[in-house]
Amino acid sequence: AANPIENAIRAGLTNELAPVHLEVVNESYMHNVPKGSETHFKVLVVSPQFEGLPLIKRHRLVNAIVKTQLAGDFVHALSIVAKTPQQWDEAYK
C-alpha cells in the first residue's frame, strides 16, 4: 500500500487507544526531504484513555505505540496533540 508509515501509525494508535477521533497528517512535504517522504508527522488523538494522565504521560504513551508499531524505528519528527473526549468537546463548543 502507499504511505506504509502513515498507515502503520494510524493502525497502532487505533488499536491501542480506541480513539474517538484520530488525525494522522504527513507534513513531510513542508520539509527539505524528497517528494513522497514519510519523515514528518502530526497526530491528533482523542481518547478516553488519556483521562487523568498529564501531558507528558500521554505523549510518552503515543511515542511508545508509534515506536513499537514502526518496529523500533522512529520517524524524524512526530508532533502530538493528545486530548480527552471532554477536552475535545470543549474545544469545539
Partner 1 sequence: PAIEGKEIEKLVNNSKVVIFMKGNPEAPRCGFSNAVVQILRMHSVTYDSHDVLQNEALRQGIKDFSNWPTIPQVFINGEFVGGCDILLQMHQNGELIDELKKAGIESAL
Residue ranges in contact with partner 1 by CB under 8 A: 55-56, 59-60, 63, 67, 74, 77-81
Q: Which is nearer to partner 1, 33 or 77 (CB)?
A: 77
Least Cβ distance, residue 65 to partner 1 (angstroms): 13
Least Cβ distance, residue 63 to partner 1 (angstroms): 6
Q: Which is nearer to partner 1, 16 or 62 (CB)?
A: 62
**Structural contact between residues 44 and 21, judged by C-beta atoms closer than 8 angstroms:** yes
- Report H helices in the chain: 4-17, 55-69, 85-91
Task: Give dist(CA 42, CA 9) in Å, integer.
Answer: 11
Q: Which is nearer to partner 1, 2 or 92 (CB)?
A: 92
Burial-class residue 36 by CB neighbours within 10 Å (0-12, 13-18, 19+).
exposed
Least Cβ distance, residue 82 to partner 1 (angstroms): 9
